[in-house]
Structure 1
Amino acid sequence: MRHCSKFFRTCTVMILCFGVVSCGKDNVATDEDTPILTEKNIKNLIPSRVHDRVSWAKDIYSIMDTLSIEKTKTNVCSIVAIVDQESNFVANPQVPNLGDKAVKEVNNRLEEKFSEKLGDRFGAPVAKYFLNVLKTQPSADNSYLSQMRKVKTEKDLDILYRQIFDYMTKHYHVSAITGAAKLIGQDIGERMNPITTLGSMQVLINYAQDHQRNSVNIYELRDDLYTQYGGLYYGIHRLMLYQAGYAKPIYRFADYNSGMYSSRNASFQQALTKLTKTKLSLDGDLLLYDKNENIQTDRSQSELAINRLFADHAVNISAKQVRSDLKQEKQIDFEKTQTYNEVKILYQQKFGKALTYAIMPEVIISGPKLSKNYNTNWYASKVNSRYVACMQRTRSGRS
């Protein structure tokens, strides 16, 4: 998973833990963390420039109650920092030049993106029809393409895409061209919708679907994410409800951008690089994934490096076991696997020191909502500076 990733790119919680300071190494509460904050305390930790801090604080307090997250300063400031970075505490913020960027993406990469989603066989003909719909429907003088240029917010663009794909669902069948089975159906709009991260905390729609707080259809879920409470609920859930042994919150911030446990896994990849003298990507993904986050059968460079390492050191762990262990890379229990622990042992033997638990993943962030490409280190550092500012507010007596 790559947060704020490319325009058309689309993790169940094992343990309900108490957030950044309640699980693993990063759950060691200090005296400073012990006080449980009130709604008023939380309001005072939200930047003073934010409109209606009382309302935002009320929702954060309520959601932390619902999800059983301790209202410590560290936990609250982690939430405040992410919300502020992602949206400046605006439930459905305007994105500068969003319409022009969306049109540019359509003009430059439409067929490529449809082929990624539908395959080469269907991608080109559907993309061609899609572009024709954009230019001619619902009318020549008010086409979807002209409407796209005028969108100001993510929700505007999301709703427009829903309308476009609804039109396609009613009027077009791939089988009419290819003779293949009907492809355009009930899930085509969701399958092709390029708006995959939503709301004030920019949560992946797939994650929200896996953790729905009520029984709603996909459009209602998307609408919920654009509300103040819904955006906060799914963002806080994603940020806080997984166990990790991070000594510093910045690694959790990095994970929020590049995927759960990517900071831990990037350190594991770095260890493999040093042990095998093989240059590996330190992106935190130990397996290969398709656009829908499904594990691919091909082996990643990290997986190949592990198998070579074990063969060179006569480690009795089969390739099948390695694959089974790596399938837990998005879970805390990966740390209990034979693969993880054997690499730790070999690293200790080789370098005379313990494997570092986490490092900053090396992941590029791109997309039409950004003015230029960034990386996870930039993102995590920006969030961390907001976190530090929030913690300073707790010391100033404002909380």
Structure 2
Amino acid sequence: MKNSFLFSRISLIVLLSTGLMACGGHSVLSSDDDSIMNTKQIKSLIPSHVRQRDSWAHDMNEIMDTLKIEKSKENVCSIVAIVDQESNFIANPQVPGLGQKAIKEVHNRLEEKFTDKLGDKLGRAVAVYFQDVLKNQPTPNNSYLSQMKKVKTEKDLDILYRQIFDYMTKHYHVSAITGVAKFVGQDIGERMNPITTLGSMQVQVSYAQEYNRNNLNIYQLRDDLYTQYGGLYYGIHRLMLYSTDYNKPIYRFADYNSGMYSSRNAAFQQSLKKLTKMDLALDGDLLLYNKDGKPQNAKSQSEIALTKLFSENGIIITPKKLRADLKEEKEQSFENTQSYLAVQKLYQEKTGKKPPYAIMPEVIISGPKLSREYNTNWYATRVNTRYESCMRRARNLH
């Protein structure tokens, strides 16, 4: 199960494929086809409730040109659907009750978050200090805690956390706690900042860092993500610039929520589950991951099932090779690995059917910004409804 919290969201290691494809396998490379849309046509596909449609359409047009993404109706509507779902086309939207939700998260999950990052001993000590800073700094009458209650947007909360961690970095040395040197550092604010997905398309900061377009420092990059252009740029980059053979855009929408190739990997898990009769999660993660996105040494149930399947069917593959194959699960190249091809072949032989290429990942979405738990199917279905509405508008264009 994957959970998306205000304080934490699983970081994915993402590499671009050399052959760039859009939804359903359409090329995202520029072309001179008559179906290529201009700024005026893009504007007409943006929902009428959106303010400054001209500006949003201009930025979308420019970014798609910059990234060499074909401005087909399908591609434009995919982007429109995600932006509308994530923010209703507001660069830095207000989140109802955000201040109270943030305070609740601090009270309920603070120590857990610090111990995850800093270890049990130092984490607990720093969590106590953090609580004291919240209640008494910068002044008791205008504490960070009282300021937190008043935040309206994610950017407000983000900037407040930056101020808190800047204060802690400068003042923490006065506290005589063993291991303080591990805490104080240039990146402490970024390591501990709970705001990890930003902007109108809710892009992970780690992804934007990997594809930093202007060599910005981390604060500048965060601020850029809250702008209309910056939020669109990194969101479009994340949504469109990887290759798949999905026959429906809904699977790309699911990937946007639960991770690149989650839909393909969930289908792989489903095939594996049917072949081994093991109770496998269909979450699209074939390995176990640490909170920093790195694979754990421990074997996942999918890896154990593969070992069992290959052993029972006389397929020779070393544990090292199997692990190497699974490490490619976030790339299209996984489809060329010995493990992937062997499962496809066994499924065909034993069932007489072609294995599914993609299914909806079974992933829970939860966090303080949500009123209740949802799942990836809920998210992708909502986005797909917006996509289909956009495509109806597109078919009426002249």
Whether TM-score is above 0.5 comes out as yes
Aligned-partner residue type, residue 8 of structure 1: F
The corresponding residue for 1:155 is: 155
The corresponding residue for 1:13 is: 16
d(CA) in 2 for partners of 1:393 and 1:213?
32
Note if contact 1:175-1:181 (Cα within 8 Å) is conserved in structure 2: no
Q: Does 1:330 align with 2:339?
A: no
1:34 shift after superposition? 5.7
Structure 2 unaligned regions, length at least 5: none
List per-residue Cα deviations over 1:323-369 (Å, max 9, x = no partner): 00000000000000000000001111110011100000000001111
Q: How does 1:319-398 map to 2 (within 5 A)?
A: 319-397=319-397
The corresponding residue for 1:218 is: 218
d(CA) in 1 for partners of 2:396 and 2:17?
37
Q: Does 1:89 align with 2:113?
A: no
Look up the SS of the partner of 1:339 in the other structure.
helix
1:116 shift after superposition? 1.3
1:6 shift after superposition? 1.3
Q: How does 1:110-121 map to 2 (within 5 A)?
A: 110-121=110-121
Note if contact 1:266-1:358 (Cα within 8 Å) is conserved in structure 2: yes
The corresponding residue for 1:272 is: 272
Cα RMSD for the two superposed structures: 1.8
1:176 shift after superposition? 3.1
Note if contact 2:28-2:68 (Cα within 8 Å) is conserved in structure 1: no
1:395 shift after superposition? 1.6
Note if contact 2:7-2:195 (Cα within 8 Å) is conserved in structure 1: yes
The corresponding residue for 2:77 is: 77
Note if contact 1:86-1:201 (Cα within 8 Å) is conserved in structure 2: yes
d(CA) in 1 for partners of 2:246 and 2:69?
17
1:100 shift after superposition? 0.2
d(CA) in 2 for partners of 1:314 and 1:276?
14
* CA distance 1:258–1:179, shift in 2 (3 Å): closer
The corresponding residue for 2:252 is: 252
List per-residue Cα deviations over 1:29-69 (Å, max 9, x = no partner): 9xxx9600000000000001100100000000000000000
The corresponding residue for 1:138 is: 138
- Tell me the TM-score normalized by structure 2: 0.95
Q: How does 1:34-183 map to 2 (within 5 A)?
A: 35-173=35-173, 176-179=176-179, 181-183=181-183
d(CA) in 2 for partners of 1:253 and 1:179?
43
* CA distance 1:77–1:250, shift in 2 (3 Å): same
List per-residue Cα deviations over 1:178-232 (Å, max 9, x = no partner): 1564322111100010000000000000000001111110000000000000000
d(CA) in 1 for partners of 2:166 and 2:158?
12
d(CA) in 2 for partners of 1:352 and 1:176?
68
List per-residue Cα deviations over 1:236-290 (Å, max 9, x = no partner): 0000000001000000000000000000000000111111100111100000111
d(CA) in 2 for partners of 1:18 and 1:67?
12
Structure 1 unaligned regions, length at least 5: none
Note if contact 2:266-2:282 (Cα within 8 Å) is conserved in structure 1: yes
Look up the SS of the partner of 2:200 in the other structure.
coil
List per-residue Cα deviations over 1:139-176 (Å, max 9, x = no partner): 00100000000000000000000000000000114983
Aligned-partner residue type, residue 57 of structure 1: A
d(CA) in 1 for partners of 2:183 and 2:91?
35
Look up the SS of the partner of 2:183 in the other structure.
coil
d(CA) in 1 for partners of 2:53 and 2:236?
17
List per-residue Cα deviations over 1:295-336 (Å, max 9, x = no partner): 111110100110011011110111111100000000000000
Note if contact 2:244-2:332 (Cα within 8 Å) is conserved in structure 1: yes
Look up the SS of the partner of 1:182 in the other structure.
helix
The corresponding residue for 1:297 is: 297
Note if contact 1:12-1:210 (Cα within 8 Å) is conserved in structure 2: no
d(CA) in 2 for partners of 1:162 and 1:360?
37
List per-residue Cα deviations over 1:82-107 (Å, max 9, x = no partner): 00000000000000000000000111
Look up the SS of the partner of 1:177 in the other structure.
coil
d(CA) in 2 for partners of 1:13 and 1:285?
18
